[in-house]
């Protein structure tokens, strides 16, 4: 199968709509990472997402809708705090889990009675979702377990030949997946951290919990139990306090003839002046935006990526650390 990469315009949107209505898949940009979309109402189309990615069949998907879509069509029991949060953060990188009305395919939520809904802010994503006018089920558009894609080329390198269309909306500005928030309880609860932080949510909703997986208990967000975000090369992760040791390890690897690269923020890069660096940038938003791109660059160039965790560990860095430790830990 030939995979087309097209800019978002009326011609590519018509093709996208045609493909989705035939039960096929379309990759599209969002402000976080690229998504692999299917008509959420079509069982076979949603199953095709799992088959194409090699995704475990018990890891539910997020449904994406445009900003004018009435989500009460899809979900019920929307609490007051969720209305405030939607007003404050949507469209944007916040996915909200509600009780499902059961109007999309049961394959989307893997038989759970809840549904995760996301309203992305990316202009191209909005154009696409508005044009197709249907709820679009979409995970990140990478092969399962690999690093999430933040450019159309990343999608192509994982799924080229397996899907017909990638809508190209440039590099994603956010860089890590949306915050997933459980809105089925009296208090909102973060299931996956992201750019909309727990503090930001608590400021609007009054309070906010955070879910931590407990060994032996049924997981509330099935995605959390799987290995994720892994580059296809050796990796090592050092915390900020041990950055000197990271630099020593890097030099030792080079001395052994291994192609070692340091993955670190600009401050650490400057401190050591290492020659082979995957530099993440300075601000927390830059670091998040560059993380997956640099991990993918690293797996192309390096035998081993030696990562140094950022000094700051709160706010957006909670989400960054969660991905970095799964990728390099």
Using CB under 6 A, list all residues that contact ligand TXA.
30, 32-33, 35, 59-62, 95, 97, 109, 112, 114-116, 118, 138-140, 177-178, 180, 191-192, 221-223
175 binds, among ligand TXA, Mg ion, none (CB under 5 to 8 A by kind): none
Distance in Å, CB of 179 to ligand TXA, minimum: 8
For the chain, give the number of residues. 329
61 binds, among Mg ion, ligand TXA, none (CB under 5 to 8 A by kind): ligand TXA
Distance in Å, CB of 11 to Mg ion, minimum: 29
Distances (CA, A) of 143 to 66, 188, 300: 26, 30, 16
Task: Give the DSSP H or E segment for 38.
Answer: strand 35-39
Distance in Å, CB of 327 to ligand TXA, minimum: 14
Question: Helix axis angle, 152-159 relative to 284-301, nearest 10°?
Answer: 40
Secondary structure class of 105 (helix, strand, coil): coil
Peptide bond preceding 258 in cis form (omega within 30 of 0): no
What number of chain residues touch Mg ion (CB under 5 A)? 1
Nearer residue to ligand TXA within complex by CB, 267 or 315: 315
* Calpha distance 4→30 (Å, rounded): 18
12 binds, among ligand TXA, Mg ion, none (CB under 5 to 8 A by kind): none
Distance in Å, CB of 141 to Mg ion, minimum: 9
30 binds, among Mg ion, ligand TXA, none (CB under 5 to 8 A by kind): ligand TXA
299 binds, among Mg ion, ligand TXA, none (CB under 5 to 8 A by kind): none
* Calpha distance 87→174 (Å, rounded): 20
Q: Which residues contact 324 (CB under 8 A, 6 or more apart)?
A: 237, 291, 307, 309
Distance in Å, CB of 148 to Mg ion, minimum: 5
Alpha carbons within 13 A on the beta-carbon side of 197: 15
Distance in Å, CB of 59 to ligand TXA, minimum: 5
Q: How many CB atoms lie within 10 A of CB 148?
A: 27
Nearer residue to ligand TXA within complex by CB, 30 or 52: 30
* Calpha distance 248→181 (Å, rounded): 40
**First CA to last CA distance, the chain:** 36
The structure tokens 């430790």 sit at: 325
Residue 230 is classified by DSSP as B
Distance in Å, CB of 310 to Mg ion, minimum: 22
109 binds, among Mg ion, ligand TXA, none (CB under 5 to 8 A by kind): ligand TXA
Nearer residue to ligand TXA within complex by CB, 42 or 140: 140
Contact by Cβ (8 Å): 328, 236 = yes
* Calpha distance 282→130 (Å, rounded): 35
Nearer residue to ligand TXA within complex by CB, 96 or 278: 96
Residue nearest to ligand TXA (CB): 223
DSSP of 171-196, one letter per residue? S-SS-SPPEEEE-SSSS-EEEE--SS
Residue 30 is classified by DSSP as -
121 binds, among ligand TXA, Mg ion, none (CB under 5 to 8 A by kind): none
Distance in Å, CB of 80 to ligand TXA, minimum: 21
Nearer residue to ligand TXA within complex by CB, 118 or 243: 118
Nearer residue to Mg ion within complex by CB, 42 or 140: 140
Site string for Mg ion, 114-143 (x = CB under 5 A): --------------------------x---
The residue ranges that bind Mg ion (CB under 5 A) are 140
């Amino acid at each position: 199968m030939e995979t087309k990469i097209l800019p978002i315009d009326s011609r590519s949107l018509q093709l996208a709509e045609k493909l989705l209505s035939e039960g096929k898949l379309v990759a599209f940009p969002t402000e976080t990472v690229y998504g692999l979309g299917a008509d959420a109402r079509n069982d076979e189309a949603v199953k095709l997402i799992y088959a194409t990615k090699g995704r475990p069949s018990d890891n539910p998907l997020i449904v994406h809708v445009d900003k004018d879509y009435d989500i009460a069509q899809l979900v019920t029991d929307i609490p007051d705090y969720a209305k405030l949060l939607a007003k404050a953060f949507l469209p944007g990188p916040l996915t909200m889990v509600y009780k499902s009305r059961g109007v999309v395919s049961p394959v989307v939520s893997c038989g759970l009675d809840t549904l995760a809904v996301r309203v992305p802010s990316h202009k191209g994503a909005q154009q696409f979702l508005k044009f197709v006018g249907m709820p679009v089920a979409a995970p990140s558009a990478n092969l399962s377990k690999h690093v999430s894609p933040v450019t159309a080329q990343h999608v192509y390198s994982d799924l080229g030949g397996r899907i017909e269309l990638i809508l190209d909306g440039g590099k994603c500005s956010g860089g890590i997946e949306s915050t997933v928030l459980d809105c089925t309880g009296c208090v909102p609860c973060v299931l996956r951290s992201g750019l909309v932080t727990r503090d930001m949510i608590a400021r609007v909703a009054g309070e906010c919990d955070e879910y931590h997986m407990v060994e032996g208990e049924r997981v509330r967000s099935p995605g959390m139990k799987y290995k994720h975000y892994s580059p296809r090369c050796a990796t090592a992760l050092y915390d900020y306090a041990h950055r000197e040791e990271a630099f020593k390890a890097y030099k030792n690897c080079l001395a052994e003839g291994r192609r070692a690269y340091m993955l670190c923020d600009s401050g650490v890069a400057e401190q050591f002046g290492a020659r082979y660096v995957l530099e993440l940038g300075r601000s927390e938003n830059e670091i998040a935006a560059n993380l997956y791109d640099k991990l993918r660059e690293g797996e192309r160039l390096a035998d081993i990526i030696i990562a140094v965790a950022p000094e700051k560990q709160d706010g957006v860095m909670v989400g960054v650390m969660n991905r970095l430790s799964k990728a390099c830990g």
